[in-house]
A = this chain, B = another copy of it.
Amino acid sequence: MRTAIIAGQGRLPAALAAAMAEPPLVAALDGFAPEGITVDLTFRVERLVPFLRALERDGIGQVIFAGAVTRPRLDPALLDEATAGLLPRLMGALQQGDDATLRVVIELFEEFGFKVAGVDEVAPALLPGAGVLAGAMTPRDEADAARAAAIVAALGGVDVGQGAVVAQGLCLGVEALPGTDALLAQVAEIGALRPDPARGRGVFYKAAKPGQDRRIDLPTIGPDTLRAVAVAGLGGVAFEAGSVICLDLAGMRRLAGELGLFLWARG
Chain A interfacial positions (CB closer than 8 Å to B): 70-71, 95-98, 147, 150-151, 154-155, 157-161, 164-165, 168-174, 176-178, 182, 186, 190, 192-193, 195
Residues in B whose Cβ lies below 8 Å from that of A171: 158-161, 176-177
Closest to A167 in B: B177
Some 13 contacts from A to B, beta carbons below 8 A apart, are: A70-B193, A147-B158, A150-B158, A154-B160, A155-B155, A160-B174, A171-B176, A171-B177, A172-B177, A173-B177, A173-B178, A178-B186, A182-B186
Residues in B whose Cβ lies below 8 Å from that of A173: 176-178
Q: A95-B169, A169-B97, A177-B190 are in contact. Are A157 and B158 (CB under 8 A)?
A: no
Bound CA–CA A172/B194 (angstroms): 23
Bound CA–CA A157/B171 (angstroms): 13
Contact of A177 among B97, B155, B170, B176 (CB under 8 A): B170
The minimal Cβ–Cβ distance linking A205 to chain B, given in whole angstroms, is 13
Residues in B whose Cβ lies below 8 Å from that of A176: 164-165, 171-174
Contact A155 B174 (CB under 8 A): yes
Contact of A71 among B147, B151, B157, B195 (CB under 8 A): B195
Bound CA–CA A78/B36 (angstroms): 61
Main secondary structure of the interface of A (DSSP, over half): mixed
The minimal Cβ–Cβ distance linking A20 to chain B, given in whole angstroms, is 30
The minimal Cβ–Cβ distance linking A76 to chain B, given in whole angstroms, is 15
Q: A97-B169, A169-B96, A195-B71 are in contact. Are A178 and B154 (CB under 8 A)?
A: no
Residues in B whose Cβ lies below 8 Å from that of A96: 169
Closest to A148 in B: B158
Contact B169 A158 (CB under 8 A): no
Q: A151-B158, A158-B150, A193-B70 are in contact. Are A172 and B178 (CB under 8 A)?
A: yes
Bound CA–CA A159/B150 (angstroms): 10
Bound CA–CA A157/B97 (angstroms): 23
Residues in B whose Cβ lies below 8 Å from that of A155: 151, 154-155, 174
Bound CA–CA A70/B196 (angstroms): 13
Contact A158 B168 (CB under 8 A): no
Give me the 10 closest cross-chain CB pairs, A-B, nearest first: A171-B176, A154-B158, A174-B174, A160-B171, A154-B154, A173-B176, A97-B169, A151-B158, A172-B177, A174-B176
Bound CA–CA A95/B147 (angstroms): 13
Residues in B whose Cβ lies below 8 Å from that of A151: 155, 158, 160
Bound CA–CA A195/B172 (angstroms): 26
Closest to A173 in B: B176
The minimal Cβ–Cβ distance linking A96 to chain B, given in whole angstroms, is 7
